[in-house]
Amino acid sequence: MAEPLGCVIHASDAAARAQARYHLNGNSSGRHVESVLVCGAGPAGLMFVQYLRRVLGYDGLLLVSEPNPDKRKSVSETRGGHNRLIPGDRDAVEAVHDYTAGKGVSINLIEASAPDESWRSSRD
């Protein structure tokens, strides 16, 4: 689990150093991020959720998109009250617009999903 955690920490540090209009914790040079979308609730996605909440202290809307029903269940049971899980049968773009009153995610999109079958078959 050290390698995925290292990736989470590195990505978070790189995002914090980037020149951006929005900032996770709303420092004086930018606006506060109102919503974050994490795509994938595997080990890396769940670590991102935990890191955002517990280490960075992010308290805004956190959306998680995951098509696998078992992984969705683990997110909803163990990952905090401010998280919103996008149901597997809904279009993610439509769900994000519903949850954010049409605004979309502020800036952060965390892609932590596994490659799809087409990618896997083209690599083998």
Give me the count of residues in the chain.
Answer: 124
Q: How far apart are CA 99 and CA 34, in angstroms?
A: 11
Decide if 111 contacts 43 (C-beta within 8 A).
no
- Number of Cβ atoms within 10 Å of the Cβ of 61: 19
Mean pLDDT per 10-residue segment, the chain (124 residues): 86 80 62 82 85 85 82 64 67 85 77 58 41
Report the pLDDT value the prediction gives residue 32, as an integer from 0 to 100: 76
Report the pLDDT value the prediction gives residue 77, as an integer from 0 to 100: 58
Beta bridge partners of 36: 62, 108
Report the pLDDT value the prediction gives residue 120, as an integer from 0 to 100: 41
Q: What domains appear along the chain, each with residue ranges and CATH number?
A: 2-112 (3.40.50.720)
Rg (CA), the chain: 15
Q: How far apart are CA 108 and CA 105, in angstroms?
A: 7
